[in-house]
């Protein structure tokens, strides 16, 4: 797409589309983007709105970022595309509290976090790619493949099964040893 005779970049195209929708719809698209990034899946039933509105929002999200969602008909949900690039910025100061306590209207209910987690008052923030891999593993109840460099041996690949996120600085300190992670 061109504007003023110049080819627009993908981020510029996305921003132009986002500028033409209401704040409420932007928030719902943010929620889709957030859940897809940190939980690995999103579907019409877990967006907290009527199915028809959820279908419209997911369709708009797919129009804005067509390479971000893959429909899994057996799970009846949209899953992670290898080409996923977040439409919205998710900072650590926003992502961790949202995962612990819920996002947006989720704050209305007590203990309505997106994953089971314990966190200290002072938060340290891991790399968002690492956090996303860990939270998807917890939410989807799947093993996480990691590469690490233990002091006793060289570089190794391991599968770990996670069930809760505890923020006690251990994730931050060990993150330097984890070079990659994928949910299997």
On the question of pLDDT at 25 being above 60, the answer is yes
Percent of the residues in the chain that have a pLDDT greater than 70, as a whole number: 77
Residue 144: its H or E element:
strand 144-148
Q: Which SS3 state, helix, strand or coil, does residue 77 take?
A: strand
Q: Which two tokens stand for residue 4?
A: 């003023």
Average pLDDT value for residue range 127-144: 88
Its pTM surpasses 0.75: no
**Whether the Cβ atoms of residue 165 and residue 132 lie closer than 8 Å to each other:** no
Local confidence band at 126 (pLDDT 50, 70, 90 cut-offs): confident
What is the longest distance spanned by two Cα atoms in the chain? Answer: 60
């Amino acid at each position: 797409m061109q504007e003023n005779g110049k080819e627009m970049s993908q981020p510029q195209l996305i921003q132009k589309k986002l500028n033409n929708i209401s704040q409420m719809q932007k928030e719902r698209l943010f929620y889709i983007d957030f859940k897809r990034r940190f939980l690995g899946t999103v579907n019409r039933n877990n967006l907290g709105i009527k199915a028809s509105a959820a279908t419209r929002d997911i369709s708009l999200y797919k129009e804005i970022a067509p390479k971000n969602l893959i429909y899994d008909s057996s799970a009846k949900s949209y899953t992670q595309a290898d080409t996923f690039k977040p439409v919205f910025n998710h900072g650590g100061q926003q992502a961790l509290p949202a995962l612990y306590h819920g996002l947006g209207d989720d704050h209305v209910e007590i203990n309505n976090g997106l994953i089971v987690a314990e966190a200290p008052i002072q938060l340290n923030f891991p790399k968002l790619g690492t956090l996303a891999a860990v939270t998807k593993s917890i939410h989807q109840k799947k093993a996480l493949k990691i590469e690490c460099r233990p002091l006793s041996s060289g570089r190794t690949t391991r599968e770990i099964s996670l069930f809760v996120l505890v923020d006690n600085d251990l994730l931050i300190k060990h993150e330097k040893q984890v070079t990659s992670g994928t949910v299997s």
